[in-house]
Amino acid sequence: MTTAAVAQHIELFRERFVRITTEVGRRIVGHEEIVAGAVTSLLAGGHVLLEGIPGVGKTSLVHTLADVLHLRFSRIQFTPDLMPADIVGTHIVQEHAQGGTFFEFQPGPIFANVVLADEINRATPKTQSALLEAMQEVSVTVGKTTFQLEQPFLVLATQNPIEMEGTYPLPEAQLDRFFFKLKVEYPPEEALHDILDRTTQPMDVSVTRVMDGAEILEMRQVARSVPIARPVQAYAIRLTLGSHADSPYATPLVKRFVRYGASPRAAQTLVLAGKIHALRHGRAFVSPEDVRAVALPALRHRILLNFEGDAEQVNVDTIVAELLKGVSV
Amino acid sequence: MNPGTPESDIVEPFRVSLVSERSSSATVVRDLVAAGDRRRRQRDVAKTLARTAPIGAAGVFLVGILGSGVGWSVAVTAAVWIALFAVLVGWAFLTTRPRPTTDAIAVDVDRDAGLAGELRSAHWFSLNPSASAWAAFHLDEAARRSSAVPWHEVYPRTKSRKSWLAAAVLSMAAFAVPAGLPTGSWLPVSVPAGAEELVDMVELDGLSPELRDKLLELLAAVREGKMTPMEAMAALRELTDFAKVDAAMKEQIAQLLNDALTSRDQFEKINPNLADAKTMSADVEWARENMASRVASEEAQKAEDAARGGESEPSDSKEPGPTTEQSAEGEAGEASEGQPGAKVPAKPSESADGAAVMMLGNPSSAVGEPGSVFGGKRGNVKYGTSQASEIAASLKREMVEAIVNIDRSDLDKEDRRRKTQQSWSSLTYTRSGSRASFDRARTESVQAVPEARKPVVERYFVRPATPDSNEEQSTR
């Protein structure tokens, strides 16, 4: 690859990224950063956890993203009585034409490119854990058979705040498997006007498919090619280590309120998302600012508070913000 | 591609060109970081010099003025100026010399140039070569963008014309202004304010200029605590002009010195360094009284000697009086005869020459504690000393000892320590008994199994024997 080719790759990546976000923005109003975060996760090969109160457009966002991408889409509505087999699939009895019966595997909704796990925290942890292998290994094991899922594979899970009734907190292992946790805030007043205009008037808000799976896989390769200087990588590592209470980089809030800090997956997320962030802005290198820009969605769900933190209702975002302020670049 | 061609032969030319391009970009990046760092340090040094130079020049100017007042040569001012200049130049040279670039330096330069981390990242890749085309592209882009940075705007030259002008003017003034001032000790450096007024209060017209200047100097020294009145008096006696002064004038001078000592308290307000001297008021008072009595007796003695000398001058000139050693021997002989408590009368000298006559001086002053007036046996001073300067010298030493004691330096350091602020806490601890105390008496005693029921209870836990087991047991 020549330097000219590198320049072309960067420009193409940037152009495609803008194309996706622009197309999603035709239907989704006022959540540009959420859309960008979801697309970043898709291009990094990660999964997204969208958290927000009901009615702020989480599910619509995922629907729109699946529509924009030429990918297979499936939706799983998580309920307390949902079973793992309802997600991964099960063997059912079939009859031969000649007579006799046999078991045949019936794939579940997990066999898709974009899976919307709606209200994932309404299912029991047992059912939630059915997604673990799929999210990490991109495969599903049923019985003695392991089925490889098709790439690109993206789980977009939505959840309501934990404080709401009838919800189960996600297991830590599953939380760690989400690339980003994006908080969908209530739309501002101006955005509400746009939402009402688009949904209560005869307006065409249909979106077109702008990209297919092959292009997404190509963009993933490009994203991983971006070089990162060791000092910048060291900064990402310091940020990750700083989320541990016993780390020398830990800030006072971390030391006081954090029980478990971020895992090495967090460092991977920081670097990979930083690369994509740099490409989004047409750069072929990762700067500390890129790492800082993605630190909040990458770390907020990977930091577990201790009892005191829970009791005092400490916001993890505050801890991450202090971490960004306290850890030297 | 020719199938027979090894892959390395195809790849190598491209790799070489890539590496050479990258190395040139890497060199550019490193040079830019080094240049930026040097510009930044030069700017900082220039700022610091611009602030320091006028201050230094002002200092040299003051040295020049003060040196002129004290009587220093211009060479001293020049030496100070050169030393200061050499220090500043040396510091500037050491601070701005080239140094190897590091990541921390690259961070600073990158931030100042507003390159959003590109120069820093490229600097790392320039020091750690990579075969990646992406790294090469990054280096090329960083070199291109960094070269386009207007570094003279990032690190502009410090506009400190006024500062340098002020420094130059002050430097020239440091040499020019003292030249226009009268040389010599025109500056009352050693004479504190008030000394002149003190002298003017007394009629000192009879003093020679040299003696008057010396007196002023000594008054200043006494007021500053550098010298005791006794030492000052001894120093005055060393001057030849002092012998010509009459007794009344000497008393005035002694009074002046005492007044200078008294007024030191006021001077302490001006000079806080003498604040510690307040603690020696009692000793100073004693020293003052002692000195006044000595001076008075000395002058009276001299007057009497003068009166007697006029009468017996012919015989005295031929028969010198006994030496001090002789007097001491005589005294010792008398003391050894079993009269330890008796006062040793001073032997009347037949000679009017020397201060031995002073031992007899004023009869009233000769009586009393030895050493309280002239002639008392103290230290190594021997009776019969004929030189007033020796007596003064001995007194001087005594006063030095007194002064030494005045500041409590001979006391144990423990006494001067500040006592530790220690006290007992008013908080008390009251042992509180546990709420749930265990009282064995309140516990219910376990019901003991009545003796009559014990066999029944024991049987309850014994498995009843089956008929088969009974048979087995019986067969065994």
Query: Which residue of chain A comes nearest to B126, CA vs CA?
Result: A229
Crossing angle of helices A264-280 and A32-44, in 10° steps, is 110
Whether residue B291 sits in one domain with residue B167: no
Q: Is there a contact between A287 and B117 if contact means CB atoms under 8 Å apart?
A: yes
Whether residue B33 sits in one domain with residue B165: yes
Residue B2: count of CB within 10 angstroms of its CB:
7
| pLDDT, mean of residues B307-324 | 49
Last residue of a domain, one of B144, B175, B206: B175
pLDDT(B192) > 60: no
Q: Is there a contact between A3 and B118 if contact means CB atoms under 8 Å apart?
A: no
| pLDDT, mean of residues B262-266 | 60
3-state secondary structure B134-181: HHHHHHHHHHHHHHCCCHHHHCCCCCCHHHHHHHHHHHHHHHHHHHHC
Q: How confident is the model at residue B442 (pLDDT cuts 50, 70, 90)?
A: low
Residue A10's alpha-carbon distances to A249, A269, B473, in angstroms, are 34, 20, 98
Output the average pLDDT for chain A.
Answer: 88
Q: Is B48 within the bounds of a domain?
A: yes
Lowest mean per-residue pLDDT among A116-120, A232-236, B60-64, B157-161 = B157-161
Number of domains in chain B: 2
- Chain B residues within an 8 Å CB radius of A2: 133
List residues bridging with A50 in a β-sheet. Answer: A158, A182
Higher pLDDT: B405 or B116? It is B116
What structural domains does chain A harbor?
16-209 (3.40.50.300), 226-329 (1.10.8.80)
pLDDT at B193: 47
- Residue A265 near chain B (CB below 8 Å): no
- Residue B137 near chain A (CB below 8 Å): yes
User: Contact A273/A179 with Cβ under 8 angstroms?
Assistant: yes
- Residue A274 near chain B (CB below 8 Å): no
pLDDT tens digit sequence for B12-34: 333 434 444 556 888 888 888 99
For residue B104, the SS3 value is helix
Q: State the residue range of the domain holding B298.
A: 188-324+347-408
Whether residue B192 sits in one domain with residue B57: no
pLDDT at B328: 40
Q: Is B382 within the bounds of a domain?
A: yes
Whether residue B157 sits in one domain with residue B26: yes
Give the DSSP per-residue string, B414-454.
HHHSPPP-----S----PPPPSS---GGGSPPPPPPPGGGH
Q: Is B341 within the bounds of a domain?
A: no
Q: Is B468 within the bounds of a domain?
A: no
pLDDT tens digit sequence for B352-380: 344 333 444 344 444 444 444 444 444 44
pTM, entire model: 0.58
Higher pLDDT: B385 or A91? It is A91
Judged by CB atoms within 8 Å, which residues 217-236 of A form the interface with B? 225-232
What does the block give as tokens for B306? 């003068």
DSSP secondary structure code for residue B343 in this structure = -
Whether residue B356 sits in one domain with residue B269: yes
What is the distance between the terminal CA atoms of chain B, rounded to a whole angstrom?
104
Whether residue B274 sits in one domain with residue B195: yes
Which helix (DSSP H) or strand (DSSP E) does residue A305 occupy?
A: strand A304-305
Q: Is B450 within the bounds of a domain?
A: no
B404: distance to nearest CA of chain A, Å?
A: 57
Reported ipTM: the value is 0.84
pLDDT tens digit sequence for A34-60: 889 999 999 999 999 998 888 888 888
pLDDT(B473) > 70: no
pLDDT tens digit sequence for B115-158: 888 899 999 998 888 888 898 899 988 999 888 888 888 888 87
* Largest distance between two CA atoms of chain B: 162
- Residue A319 near chain B (CB below 8 Å): no
Whether residue B230 sits in one domain with residue B87: no
Whether residue B252 sits in one domain with residue B218: yes
What percent of chain B shows pLDDT beyond 70?
52
Lowest mean per-residue pLDDT among A101-105, A141-145, A201-205, B201-205 = B201-205
pLDDT(B427) > 90: no
Whether residue B229 sits in one domain with residue B167: no
Whether residue B31 sits in one domain with residue B157: yes
- Residue B205 corresponds to which amino acid? D
Whether residue B307 sits in one domain with residue B274: yes
Whether residue B242 sits in one domain with residue B99: no
Q: Is B25 within the bounds of a domain?
A: yes
Q: Is B210 within the bounds of a domain?
A: yes
Which residue in the set A1, A2, A232 is minimally distant from B121, CB to CB? A232
Query: Which residue of chain A comes nearest to B102, CA vs CA?
Result: A231
Q: Pick from A6, A11, A280 the residue to mutate for testing the B interface (most B CBs within 10 Å).
A: A6
